[in-house]
C-alpha cells in the first residue's frame, strides 16, 4: 500500500486526468480498468455494429462498462441522459450475458439522468426477467473504490513518474513491503525473538524509540525470510549490500544515529512513510531484518578498531 504523501500525488494526477473530455477520458479510464481486471477487454468499433454500447468487459463478461467524458455544450443534461440511454439500450441488444452495468463519467448527474437511472433500475430489478445491477461512477468513486487498493506497481503503470518514491536500487523491495502492509502476523516460525545484541544497538547509540521500532518489526523475521526464499536466491544478499551502502552514505552526511537510521528508512519506504502506520511497520520490519541478519549496522568494538 502507499503512504499518504504518495496517495496525495497520485490522487492529484488522477483528478487532473479525469478532467479530460471525450476519447481522452475514456482512454484514461480504460488504463485504470486494465489494471483492475485481469481479463479486461475493450471491443473496438467494427462496421455497422460499432462497439455495441460497450467500452469494456470485466470479470469474464459479468461487468459491462460504458464511459463518457463530458464536453461543454448546450443542453448538457438532456444530452447526458441520452448518452446513458443510448449506451444502455445498445448494450442490452448486443450483450446478453452481463449482470452489472457501470456508467463511468466525469459529468455531473442532474435530475433527468437520475430519473432515467431510477427507471431502468426498477425495470431490471432482482425480480425482473433480466436482472442487472446498474451503477453510475464518477472519478472520485473510481479513486476510492479501485485505485486506493492498488499496489504501487499498478498505479505507476497508470500514472508514471511519481517523484522520490524509493531508492531506485530498492525498487524490487516494494512487493515485500506491500505483502507486509496487508498481512497479519500469524506466528510463523518457532524461533523466539532474541534481544538485540548490545554491540549493535548500544554501540551505535540508537535512541530508545528506534529500539522499540526494531523490536516491533523483528517478529516478522520469519515471513520475510520465507519471502526471500521464494524470490531470486541471490536477492537477499544483493539487497543487504545495498542497505549497507545506503547506511554508509548516510553516515557520510551525518553522525547522528537517529538521522542515519531515518535516511535508511526513507530510502526504503519513501519520504513520508510514517504517515501510513502499516507502511511504517513494514519499513521497520524489513530494516530490522537486515539489521539482525546481515550486520549492516554493525561496527566492531572500539578495542578491535584500535580506537
pLDDT at 304: 34
For the chain, the first-to-last Cα distance in angstroms comes to 45
Beta strands in 43-147 (DSSP E): 56-58, 63-68, 100-105, 133-137
∠298-301-307 over CA atoms, to 5°? 120
- Assigned C-alpha cell, 130: 433480466
pLDDT of residue 123: 96
Angle of helix 277-293 relative to helix 174-181, nearest 10 degrees?
120
- Is the predicted pLDDT of residue 141 greater than 90, yes or no? yes
**How deeply is 204 buried, as exposed, middle or buried, from its count of CB atoms within 10 A (0-12, 13-18, 19+)?**
middle
What digits encode the pLDDT tens for the residues 60-79? Answer: 999 999 999 987 677 888 88
Residue 187 has pLDDT above 80, yes or no: no
Q: What is the pTM of this model?
A: 0.56
- Could you read off the pLDDT of 11-69 as tens digits, one per residue? 888 999 999 888 899 999 999 999 999 999 998 876 555 567 899 999 999 999 999 99
pLDDT tens-digit readout, 228-268: 888 877 888 888 888 888 888 877 777 777 788 888 888 88
CA 247 to the chain's CA centroid: 27
Question: In the chain, what are the domains?
Answer: 4-153 (3.40.91), 166-305 (no CATH)
Please answer whether residues 24 and 106 qualify as being in contact, where contact means their C-beta atoms are separated by less than 8 angstroms.
no
Q: Over 90: is that where the pLDDT of 117 sits?
A: yes
Amino acid at each position: 500500500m502507499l503512504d499518504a504523501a504518495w496517495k496525495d500525488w497520485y490522487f492529484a494526477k488522477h483528478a487532473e486526468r479525469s478532467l479530460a473530455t471525450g476519447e481522452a477520458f475514456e482512454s484514461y479510464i480504460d488504463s485504470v480498468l486494465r489494471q483492475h481486471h485481469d481479463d479486461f477487454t475493450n471491443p473496438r468499433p467494427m462496421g455497422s455494429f460499432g462497439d455495441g454500447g460497450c467500452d469494456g468487459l470485466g470479470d469474464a463478461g459479468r461487468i459491462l462498462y460504458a464511459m463518457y467524458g463530458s464536453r461543454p455544450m448546450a443542453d448538457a443534461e438532456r444530452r447526458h441522459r441520452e448518452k446513458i440511454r443510448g449506451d444502455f439500450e445498445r448494450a442490452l441488444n448486443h450483450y446478453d450475458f452481463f449482470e452489472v452495468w457501470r456508467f463511468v463519467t466525469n459529468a455531473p448527474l442532474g435530475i433527468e439522468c437520475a430519473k432515467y437511472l431510477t427507471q431502468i433500475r426498477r425495470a431490471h430489478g432482482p425480480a425482473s426477467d433480466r436482472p442487472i445491477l446498474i451503477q453510475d461512477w464518477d472519478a472520485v468513486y473510481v479513486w476510492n473504490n479501485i485505485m486506493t487498493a492498488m499496489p504501487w506497481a499498478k498505479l505507476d503503470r497508470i500514472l508514471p513518474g511519481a517523484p522520490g518514491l524509493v531508492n531506485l536500487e530498492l525498487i524490487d523491495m516494494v512487493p515485500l513491503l506491500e505483502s507486509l502492509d496487508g498481512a497479519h502476523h500469524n506466528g510463523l516460525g518457532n524461533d523466539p525473538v532474541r534481544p538485540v545484541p548490545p554491540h549493535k544497538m548500544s554501540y551505535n547509540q540508537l535512541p530508545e524509540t528506534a529500539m522499540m521500532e526494531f523490536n516491533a518489526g523483528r517478529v516478522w523475521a520469519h515471513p520475510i525470510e520465507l519471502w526471500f526464499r521464494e524470490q531470486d536466491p541471490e536477492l537477499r544478499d544483493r539487497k543487504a549490500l545495498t542497505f549497507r551502502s545506503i547506511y554508509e552514505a548516510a553516515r557520510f552526511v551525518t553522525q547522528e544515529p537517529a538521522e542515519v537510521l531515518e535516511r535508511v528508512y526513507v530510502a526504503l519506504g519513501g519520504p513520508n512513510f510514517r504517515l501510513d502506520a502499516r507502511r511504517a511497520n513494514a519499513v521497520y520490519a524489513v530494516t530490522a531484518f537486515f539489521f539482525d541478519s546481515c550486520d549492516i549496522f554493525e561496527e566492531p568494538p572500539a578495542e578491535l578498531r584500535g580506537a
